């Protein structure tokens, strides 16, 4: 399969294709407006019609306003789509066994892929087997699952469906999907206005010679025809863009889980289930291109957003006999929910762990991609977290205490005193217990805790989030210096949560050449070289390893070991976040070469690699611990 960075480049290409196709659709709609308005104008002097130029302006304005309004509605990200489809957010602290199973699958997939755990929403009114991923970025991603999908699938099948949706998150499909909803809605508005005009005309009295009933009816009918033609073109655009991505996502799910039976079983159950993958929501059609399965009954092949089930299953399992699994409808009743609250975890701390490095190419090839080894590693990491600590992470107050505990574990005396003046006694007690528990943990486990804490932290109110950030920043500033672990925690949390609460979109690409980023490149490589206890000779060798990687891409540097402040590193990463995917790939390869020059990646090096990758939008799976 193509790597993450190539998929990001392809996503940019799909966006350009989409813009071109949409421009053609708008041109077709305006052209029809021109012809039909001209026809009405010539039809008779008694029929009022605007000038042709004004008609064209009105058509373009309606499309622009309709699209803009819809995009504004969707600016909240995936949760806006989930609400429109009738979903409800799953409480991270739920005790419902089916919801708990679903959350466990999503959490493991998130840890394995190195992205924050997305919000999970259930569409309780939907009996069909379906799912979607939506959002403007991994920071705002939502995974939505129908009730039928949660109830009718086994854990392996559910994991296959979730892996399919994670492929869309990692491959940059989500933002384009939201844009498709917005622009197609703009064209649809013309049809809606035309239908409204026809209804108004039908309710008017037509006994007067000067009655505007007939002109309004003609104009309304014309608008309806124009708009519906545009809607058909919009459906063709969605179909053209989404079909091949579904094959790619299916293949990714097999690669992620090493279990073709999982996703193939889910597809076979859709074929044999009385509800199939259909949705009852009135917004099902506009979101059809982002769903796991086809939401519309008997969609014509020209407008189908998904390949036929038979083709998808055969691509996964060539030996399939063509028989769908017949699925009886089960009773689906919500179990009563009870959440056990505990003040602090009591389990013994995990042992410190070392980490062996693969080649830089192997490390970077894992960015944005999941392997069965990553899934197994994520399962081990999650299973190694005590149940009491997991329970804390499912509650907004508990998740804050866990983050504070991670920070005071590195310098408990000074930072605990600071924390005591900022939070209540119960939070302080919990944070101290967490600090004692995680003090000996490798940073890979700590990073997993941060990923798992994000869903609960998203449930804070904006005011509560401001208070949390204030405590976080003051706690980090206690010793008047920023260590790597604190830097990593701050960068990961602020990047994803700031975007969640502000709704800010991902950065636009501004830099396409290392010539525009040479000072930042030098800062990041020397910072990576400065991590750990290297002798001058070892530092020189580590830098050379990074320089050799860059030289393969025509970038020749002559660097000497020197200190780099974390403020400089932060500024450099902000600029690299606006670089192309291929620039980011080469940066990460060079950083990984520096870190792994001695065939060993320390906990500190893992922290900085994770901070670098996450800040520039390249989700890095946790490195396998040994």
Active site residues: 165
Greatest distance between any 2 Cα atoms in the chain: 98
The whole-angstrom separation of Cα 266 and Cα 325 is 9
For residues 597 and 545, the answer to whether their CB atoms sit within 8 Å is yes
The whole-angstrom separation of Cα 160 and Cα 617 is 25
Which has the closest alpha carbon to 483: 547, 546, 535, 411? 411
Question: In the numeric block, which tokens belong to residue 427?
Answer: 């939070």
The whole-angstrom separation of Cα 469 and Cα 500 is 14
The whole-angstrom separation of Cα 479 and Cα 481 is 5
The whole-angstrom separation of Cα 416 and Cα 394 is 23
Q: In which residue are the tokens 């996503």 written?
A: 11
The whole-angstrom separation of Cα 33 and Cα 64 is 15
Question: In the numeric block, which tokens belong to residue 276?
Answer: 């199939």
The whole-angstrom separation of Cα 502 and Cα 497 is 8
For residues 291 and 277, the answer to whether their CB atoms sit within 8 Å is yes
For CA atoms 488, 492, 498, 499, give the dihedral sign.
positive
Q: What is the CA radius of gyration of the chain?
A: 27
For residues 263 and 161, the answer to whether their CB atoms sit within 8 Å is yes
The whole-angstrom separation of Cα 227 and Cα 190 is 5
The whole-angstrom separation of Cα 190 and Cα 196 is 10
Helix residue spans in 477-530 (DSSP H): 484-502, 518-529
Q: In what order do the strands lie in the sheet with 131-134?
A: 88-89, 119-123, 142-146, 131-134
b/e 208-245 (16+ beta carbons within 10 angstroms → b): eeeeebebbbbbbbbbbebbbbbbebbbebbbebbeeb
């Amino acid at each position: 399969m193509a790597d993450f960075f190539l998929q990001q480049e392809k996503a940019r290409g799909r966006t350009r294709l989409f813009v071109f196709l949409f421009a053609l659709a708008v041109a077709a709609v305006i052209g029809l407006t021109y012809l039909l308005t001209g026809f009405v104008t010539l039809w008779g002097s008694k029929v009022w019609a605007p000038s042709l130029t004004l008609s064209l302006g009105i058509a373009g304005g309606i499309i622009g306003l309709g699209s803009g309004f819809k995009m504004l509605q969707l600016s909240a990200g995936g949760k806006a789509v989930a609400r429109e489809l009738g979903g409800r957010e799953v409480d991270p602290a739920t005790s419902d066994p089916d919801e708990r199973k679903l959350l466990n699958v999503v959490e493991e997939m998130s840890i394995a892929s190195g992205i924050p755990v997305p919000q999970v929403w259930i569409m309780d009114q939907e009996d069909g087997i379906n799912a979607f991923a939506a959002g403007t970025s991994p920071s705002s991603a939502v995974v939505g699952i129908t009730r039928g999908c949660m109830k009718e699938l086994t854990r392996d099948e559910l994991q296959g469906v979730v892996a399919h949706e994670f492929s869309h998150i990692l491959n940059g499909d989500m933002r384009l999907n939201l844009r498709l909803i917005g622009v197609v809605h703009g064209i649809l508005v013309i049809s809606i206005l035309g239908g409204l005009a026809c209804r108004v005309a039908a309710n008017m009295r037509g006994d007067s010679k000067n009655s505007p009933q007939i002109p309004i009816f003609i104009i309304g009918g014309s608008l309806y025809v124009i708009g519906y033609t545009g809607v058909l073109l919009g459906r063709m655009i969605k179909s053209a863009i989404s079909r091949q991505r579904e094959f790619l996502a299916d293949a990714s799910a097999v690669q992620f889980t090493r279990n073709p039976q999982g996703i193939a079983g889910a597809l076979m159950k859709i074929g044999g289930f009385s509800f199939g993958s259909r949705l009852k929501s009135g917004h099902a059609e506009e979101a059809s291109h982002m769903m796991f399965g086809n939401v519309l009954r008997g969609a014509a092949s020209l407008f189908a957003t998904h390949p036929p089930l038979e083709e998808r299953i055969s691509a996964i399992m060539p030996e399939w006999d063509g028989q769908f699994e017949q699925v009886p409808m089960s009773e689906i009743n919500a179990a009563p929910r009870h959440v056990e609250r505990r003040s602090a975890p009591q389990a013994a701390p995990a042992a410190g762990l070392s980490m062996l490095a693969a080649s830089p190419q192997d490390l970077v090839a894992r960015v944005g991609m999941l392997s069965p080894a990553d899934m197994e590693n994520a399962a081990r990491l999650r299973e190694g977290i005590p149940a009491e600590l997991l329970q804390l992470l499912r509650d907004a107050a508990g998740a804050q205490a866990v983050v504070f505990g991670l920070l005071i574990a590195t310098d408990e005396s000074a930072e605990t005193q600071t924390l005591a003046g900022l939070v209540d006694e119960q939070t302080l007690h919990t944070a101290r217990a967490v600090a004692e528990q995680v003090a000996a943990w490798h940073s890979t486990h700590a990073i997993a805790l941060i990923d798992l804490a994000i869903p609960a932290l998203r449930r804070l109110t904006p005011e509560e989030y401001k208070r949390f950030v204030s405590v976080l920043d003051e706690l980090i500033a206690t010793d008047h210096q920023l260590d790597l672990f604190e830097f990593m925690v701050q960068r990961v949390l602020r990047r994803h949560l700031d975007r969640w609460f502000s709704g800010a979109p991902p950065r636009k690409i501004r830099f396409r050449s290392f010539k525009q980023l040479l000072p930042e490149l030098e800062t990041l490589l020397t910072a990576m070289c400065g991590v750990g206890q290297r002798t001058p000779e070892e530092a020189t060798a580590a830098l050379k390893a990074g320089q050799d990687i860059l030289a393969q891409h025509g970038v020749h540097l002559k660097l000497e070991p020197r200190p780099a402040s974390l403020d400089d590193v932060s500024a450099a990463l902000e600029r690299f976040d606006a670089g192309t995917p291929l620039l980011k790939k080469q940066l990460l390869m060079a950083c990984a070469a520096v870190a792994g020059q001695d065939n060993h990646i320390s906990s500190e090096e893992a922290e900085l690699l994770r901070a670098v990758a996450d800040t520039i939008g390249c989700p890095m799976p946790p490195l396998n611990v040994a």
